[in-house]
């Protein structure tokens, strides 16, 4: 055997310096070396490609389930909703407008609840005024819906002590009598607590039967219109507790949903039917200074044209007329307000964009009308500002925006929500639905930051969006 072919181990005691005691390996021919190198290179290339593919698909899966603490939980491409349309009507509590609905026994209304208020909450022997399904088409009086008036309605006192006073919802009739005198006419005072049967509100009844009704959705502020509309569009009222001149002069300095959407490149229009006051987008200095008050605020007629053409923006905000015809705000007739809702729904239902639309209907505040469900307390404010006003009896009361307003009727309307579903308090997340739940939904739909602590606190309702589209949504609603 040649020395170059030896294959042996060193025996114990052999001289390690002797080269003859080590095996010698024959070098392979050059051609074999090139073939082996090529095969190894190809193998490494295949492994690299496989690794990249595995990394890519795992990244897609992980990103689909990840949560962004600032931006939200659902990337836009994963939602069937491409267009959000919001209309905020005026001044009705849940019990007044929806408390008489009977299509679903699970509604927390007045059908199985006897709800009464004393005529004078300070008199233990005061006669009781009980809710009846006899509310008139036009309310004879516009109930008090100030912060102080709301305090009396909810707590029975103009300046409640959170350590002592509980929200009994017993002061609505008392405040109505104090506001209007009424000369002992408790029948007229009862309009503040009476409600509508289904046949008197056929549009609401049809929408609720066909889509999702919230029976535990609360206004943001237990007070008037504009502070609630500011919370609806920015997550705070910036310390405003009444409809003061700042709302008429585009003086609110905070960032609104409209500014936020523009910064993110998301289209929006505020279609307005307002008369005598500014539409909601023009509450804000940014809207006026930036020129968006001209480019992005349009008359309500344009909404119907855009819906028909399929050119509605990604975010539509609708202001109703106020306060004589179609807004529901007294003395607006209920049937005309329902007619306005019918026209909005049917325009959207006939639109080419219907299959990608979520239509949200809510009311800015209770308007002083009674409701039997106490609003939540100890909620985060939008900021650290407070508001102080004098009550009817001269009492000074300070509101810290740390409790919600009275319950208002709210619906989700879309081919992507269940038919006739009644949503109570959320079971998959804490806290209660409120106006800023709309801002929370929009933030997570389009990956936007939460505007304020109140928005971050508010539950999202995106769990009510179905995985499959419905084909049974009505094309037309009944006549009001």
pLDDT in tens, 364-406: 999 999 999 999 999 999 999 999 999 999 999 999 999 999 9
DSSP-H helix ranges across 241-333: 257-263, 285-290, 292-295, 300-309
Handedness of CA 281, 283, 288, 293 (dihedral sign): positive
The Cα–Cα gap between 198 and 101 comes to: 5
Q: Does residue 432 fall inside a structural domain?
A: yes
pLDDT above 80: residue 143 = yes
Which residue range(s) make up the domain with 262? Answer: 83-104+196-464
Q: Does residue 339 fall inside a structural domain?
A: yes
Q: Does residue 120 fall inside a structural domain?
A: no
Of 314, 317, 319, the residue nearest 357 (C-alpha): 314
Q: Does residue 75 fall inside a structural domain?
A: no
pLDDT in tens, 319-343: 999 999 999 999 999 999 999 999 9
With the CA atoms of 452, 267, 344 and 74 taken in that order, what torsion angle do they form, in degrees rounded to the nearest 10? -60
pLDDT above 50: residue 61 = no
Of 236, 287, 288, the residue nearest 439 (C-alpha): 236
pTM, full prediction = 0.83
Confidence of residue 78 (pLDDT cuts 50, 70, 90): confident
Can you read off the two tokens belonging to residue 137?
């088409």
Contact at 8 Å (CB) between 348 and 357?
A: yes
Q: Does residue 12 fall inside a structural domain?
A: no
pLDDT above 80: residue 21 = no
pLDDT the model gives residue 408: 98
Percent of the chain with pLDDT over 90: 80
- CATH number of the domain where residue 232 is located: 3.40.720.10
Q: Which of 64-68, 207-211, 271-275, 452-456 has the least mean pLDDT? A: 64-68
β-partners of residue 377 are 403
Average of per-residue pLDDT values in the chain: 88
Average pLDDT, stretch 147-173?
96
Q: Does residue 421 fall inside a structural domain?
A: yes
pLDDT above 80: residue 189 = yes
Percent of the chain with pLDDT over 70: 84
pLDDT the model gives residue 63: 34
pLDDT the model gives residue 46: 54
Contact at 8 Å (CB) between 135 and 191?
A: yes
Q: Which residue has the higher pLDDT, 84 or 59?
A: 84
pLDDT in tens, 403-428: 999 999 999 999 999 999 999 999 98
Q: Does residue 402 fall inside a structural domain?
A: yes
pLDDT the model gives residue 98: 98
Average pLDDT, stretch 80-105?
97
Number of domains within the chain = 1
Residues 6+ apart with CB under 8 A from 195: 95, 96, 97, 99, 100, 109, 110, 131, 132, 133, 135
Q: In what order do the strands lie in the sheet with 357-363?
A: 297-299, 268-272, 315-319, 83-89, 357-363, 410-413, 212-214, 421-423
Of 314, 341, 345, the residue nearest 325 (C-alpha): 341
pLDDT above 60: residue 62 = no
pLDDT in tens, 213-262: 999 999 999 999 999 999 999 999 999 999 999 999 999 999 999 999 99
Can you read off the two tokens belonging to residue 223?
């007070």
pLDDT the model gives residue 50: 54
Number of neighbours of residue 46 by Cβ within 10 angstroms? 10
Residues 6+ apart with CB under 8 A from 244: 226
Q: Does residue 171 fall inside a structural domain?
A: no
pLDDT the model gives residue 459: 97
Confidence of residue 183 (pLDDT cuts 50, 70, 90): confident
């Amino acid at each position: 055997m040649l020395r170059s072919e030896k294959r042996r181990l060193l025996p114990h005691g052999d001289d390690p310096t002797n080269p003859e005691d080590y095996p010698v390996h024959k070098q392979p021919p050059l051609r074999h070396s090139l073939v082996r190198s090529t095969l190894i290179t190809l193998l490494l290339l295949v492994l690299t490609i496989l690794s990249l593919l595995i990394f890519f698909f795992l990244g897609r899966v992980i990103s689909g389930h990840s949560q962004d603490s600032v931006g939200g939980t659902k990337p836009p491409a994963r939602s069937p909703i491409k267009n959000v349309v919001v209309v905020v009507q005026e001044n009705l509590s849940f019990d007044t407008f929806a408390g008489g609905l009977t299509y679903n026994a699970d509604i927390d209304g007045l059908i199985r609840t006897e709800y009464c208020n004393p005529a004078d909450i300070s008199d233990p022997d005061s006669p009781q005024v009980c809710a009846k399904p006899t509310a008139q088409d036009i309310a004879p009086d516009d109930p008090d819906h100030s912060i102080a008036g709301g305090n009396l309605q909810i707590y029975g006192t103009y300046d409640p002590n959170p350590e002592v006073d509980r929200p009994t919802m017993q002061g609505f009739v008392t405040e109505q009598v104090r506001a209007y005198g009424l000369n002992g006419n408790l029948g007229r005072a009862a309009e503040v607590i009476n409600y509508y049967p289904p046949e008197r509100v056929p549009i609401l009844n049809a929408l609720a039967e066909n889509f999702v009704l919230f029976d535990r959705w609360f206004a943001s502020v237990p007070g008037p219109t504009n502070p609630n509309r500011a919370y609806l569009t920015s997550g705070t009222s910036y310390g405003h507790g009444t409809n003061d001149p700042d709302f008429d002069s585009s003086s609110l300095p905070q960032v609104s949903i409209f500014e936020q959407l523009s910064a993110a490149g998301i289209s929006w229009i505020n279609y307005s039917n307002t008369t005598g006051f500014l539409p909601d987008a023009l509450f804000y200095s940014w809207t006026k200074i930036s020129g968006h008050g001209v480019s992005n605020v349009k008359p309500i007629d344009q909404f119907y044209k855009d819906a028909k053409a399929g050119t509605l923006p990604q975010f539509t905000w609708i202001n109703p007329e106020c306060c004589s015809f179609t807004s529901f705000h007294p003395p607006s007739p209920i049937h005309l307000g329902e007619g306005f809702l019918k026209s909005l729904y049917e325009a959207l239902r006939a639109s080419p964009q219907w299959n990608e639309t979520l239509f949200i209907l809510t009311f800015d505040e209770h308007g002083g009308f009674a409701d039997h469900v106490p609003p939540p307390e100890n909620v985060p404010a939008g900021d650290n500002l407070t508001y102080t006003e004098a009550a009817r009896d001269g009492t000074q009361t300070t509101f810290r925006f740390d409790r919600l307003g009275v319950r208002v009727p709210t619906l989700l309307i879309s081919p992507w929500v269940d038919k006739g579903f009644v949503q109570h308090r959320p079971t998959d997340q804490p806290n209660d639905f409120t106006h800023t739940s709309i801002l929370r939904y929009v933030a997570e739909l389009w990956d936007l930051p939460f505007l304020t602590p109140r928005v971050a606190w508010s539950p999202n309702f995106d769990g009510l969006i179905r995985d499959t589209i419905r084909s049974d949504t009505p094309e037309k609603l009944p006549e009001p």
